[in-house]
Amino acid sequence: MQRRALLASPFLAAPLLARRADAQSDWPNRSIRWVVAFAAGGAADTAARSIAPAVAEELGQSVIIENRTGGNAVIAANATLGAPADGYTFLVDAANQLTNPVLMRDLAFDYRTAFVPISQFCSFPQVIAVKQDFPARTLAEFIALAKARPATISVGTPPAAGMGHLALAAFENAAGIRLVHAPYRGGADAARDILAGSIDAVLITSSSVRAPIQTGRARALAVTSLERIATMPDVPTVAEQGFPGYDMNDWNGLFASAGVPRAIIMRMATAVANATRAASVRARMDPAGAIMVGNTPEEFAAWLDGQRRVAADVIRSSGITLG
């Protein structure tokens, strides 16, 4: 019986392999879900909702955005990993891919093996902005005030241990100051509170900070990129205000769970890359200060490896925790 089973197995496997190949060649034949690990209105959500229609047009199927916040983006990660690895559920994530492995000891998965990088959507320069009645009007004045009043100035970033938090910690270390970190689920939430004057300052993306600045309820003191950005040409960088080399952009991108067929990953990567160059997408993202990327899975993976080291160094040197 065992011998007959072994002899029969190639014939049983052939139809299965054929069906799997047909499924890949037929992909996509229904709607695709992008699980966004952040709240609606933030940088990652804005990028996903801008890029998704162009991807849907190229692939011939709708791309549905599903925001799953909480758990420092682990809820969204688990939702993606819990779905079949058939190319119909993807994760839109950001710095959590780099920071959670350093910060969280009880993760049920390893980010580096559980997820496959597909393509980076974009990077977002971040902005240090203060509420309208805050006394400091320059970064130098902000630092002087922080030194005079240590651990009293509240600064909102999304979320705890995200790129905003890392950028804030790196700035504190460089400037020799202590601030009060206020973590938010998303950039839109932090923007809402600085609009209301509930917090002193924010360090959020150029996209999220637009509304508070445009309404005059907040003032930008600095941007975190090495070069000034086109949407705020008069706002100097942190680097040019006494901290050369400071460069802490936020970013976001698309990931698949391990096991998704390579052919599907490459088709999705191509669709995303094309979308980042589409005029309709640039019309929405350029005014938000986004730097569009659309790289290959290999390029994205190599970039992530380098960023993991940067994130781990900042976390350990600053003593950042999720508590």
**Is a pLDDT exceeding 90 seen at residue 138?**
yes
H-assigned helices in the chain:
2-25, 43-59, 74-81, 96-103, 111-114, 139-148, 163-175, 187-196, 210-214, 262-277, 279-285, 297-318
Identify the band that residue 271 occupies on the pLDDT scale cut at 50, 70 and 90. Answer: very high
Model pLDDT, residue 264: 98
Model pLDDT, residue 43: 84
Exposure on the CB side of residue 142, measured as CA atoms within 13 A: 26
pLDDT average, residue stretch 44-55: 96
Model pLDDT, residue 77: 98
Q: Out of 15-24, 125-134, 218-227, 286-295, which region has the weakest mean confidence (pLDDT)?
A: 15-24
167 — phi, psi (to 5°)? -65, -40
Please calculate the CA angle 111-113-115 and round it to the nearest 5 degrees.
Answer: 60
12 or 162: which leads in pLDDT: 162
Separation between Cα atoms, residue 272 and residue 48, nearest integer Å: 10
Separation between Cα atoms, residue 210 and residue 230, nearest integer Å: 13
Q: Out of 17-26, 88-97, 115-124, 187-196, which region has the weakest mean confidence (pLDDT)?
A: 17-26
**Is a pLDDT exceeding 70 seen at residue 14?**
no
228 — phi, psi (to 5°)? -60, 155
**Is residue 257 a contact partner of residue 115, using CB atoms and an 8 Å limit?**
yes
pLDDT average, residue stretch 165-189: 94
237 or 17: which leads in pLDDT: 237
38 or 1: which leads in pLDDT: 38
Terminal Cα distance for the chain, rounded: 59
Model pLDDT, residue 59: 98
Q: H-helix or E-strand containing 11?
A: helix 2-25
* Domains of the chain: residue spans and CATH: 29-122+250-318 (3.40.190.150), 126-241 (3.40.190.10)
DSSP code at position 231: T
The string of pLDDT tens digits covering residues 60-103 is: 999 999 999 988 899 999 999 999 999 999 999 999 999 999 99
Model pLDDT, residue 289: 86
Model pLDDT, residue 323: 64
